[in-house]
């Protein structure tokens, strides 16, 4: 008997439930049981242990956006590769060539951003 979606996704639902439940319970326990003795050093924003420099409310650099942009394009490429990958033997060489064209198009984009120096973080 084929499984209904609900049955198929039962493990995922269980993980979600346990994960969120655990997080909630731990937060609640920390709130209820943990002692609160604040001082100036404790209340300062955490910056990897060093003394905080400048305001935390500064604007992000635009470089972060470009990284996210590159990520999203190649993320989509990965998702496009997935349905081909599970069928790659059945689709044979024809499918391989088709996918090669797809990937090659995006490699052109990668070459462009590389040549333009977008990938260099430090100027």
Partner 1 sequence: MTQTTGKLLGWILGTALAIGFVVVMGQLAIGPAAQSMVPAPATSAGLTEVLFYVLAGVTIAGAAGVALSHNILYSAIGLLMALLGAGSLYVFLSADFLAVAQLLIYIGGVLVLVLFAVMLTNRITEITVSNTSLGLWGGLMLFVAVAPVLLAVALVTPWATITPAAAAHTTETIGDALLSRWLLPFEVASLVLLASLVGAVAIARKEIKAD
Partner 2 sequence: MVPVQWYLLLAAVLFGVGLVGVLIKRNALIVMMCIELMLNAANLTFLAFARQQGNIGGHAIAFFVIAVAAAEAAVGLAIVIAIYRTTGSVNVDDVRELREEG
Binding site for partner 1 (CB under 8 A): 2-6, 8-9, 57-66, 68-73, 75-80, 82-87, 90-91, 94-95, 98-99, 101-103, 105-106, 108-109, 112-113, 116, 118
* Token pair 């609900």 in the structure block, residue: 6
72 near 66, Cβ under 8 Å? Answer: no
Among 15, 69, 111, 119, binds partner 2 (CB under 8 A): 69
In angstroms, rounded to a whole number, what is the distance separating the alpha carbons of residues 92 and 84? 10
Q: How many CA atoms lie within 13 A of 119 on its CB side?
A: 9
Residue with smaller CB distance to partner 1, 48 or 79: 79
**In the complex with partner 2, which residue's Cβ is closer, 38 or 117?**
117
Residue with tokens 């439940």: 21
Distance, CA of 45 to CA of 114 (rounded, Å): 36
Q: How far is the CB of 102 from partner 1 (least distance, A)?
A: 4
Residues that bind partner 2 in the complex, under the rule CB under 8 A? 62, 65, 69, 72-73, 75-76, 79-80
């Amino acid at each position: 008997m084929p499984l209904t979606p609900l049955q198929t996704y039962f493990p995922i639902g269980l993980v979600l439930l346990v994960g969120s439940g655990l997080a909630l319970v731990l937060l609640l326990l920390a709130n209820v049981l943990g002692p609160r003795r604040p001082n100036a050093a404790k209340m300062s924003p955490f910056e990897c242990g060093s003394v905080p420099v400048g305001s935390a409310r500064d604007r992000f650099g635009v470089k972060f956006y470009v990284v996210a942009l590159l990520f999203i394009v190649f993320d989509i490429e990965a998702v496009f590769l997935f349905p081909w990958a599970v069928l790659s033997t059945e689709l044979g060489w024809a499918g391989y060539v088709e996918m090669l064209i797809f990937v090659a198009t995006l490699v052109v984009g990668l070459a462009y951003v590389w040549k333009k120096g977008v990938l260099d973080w430090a100027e």
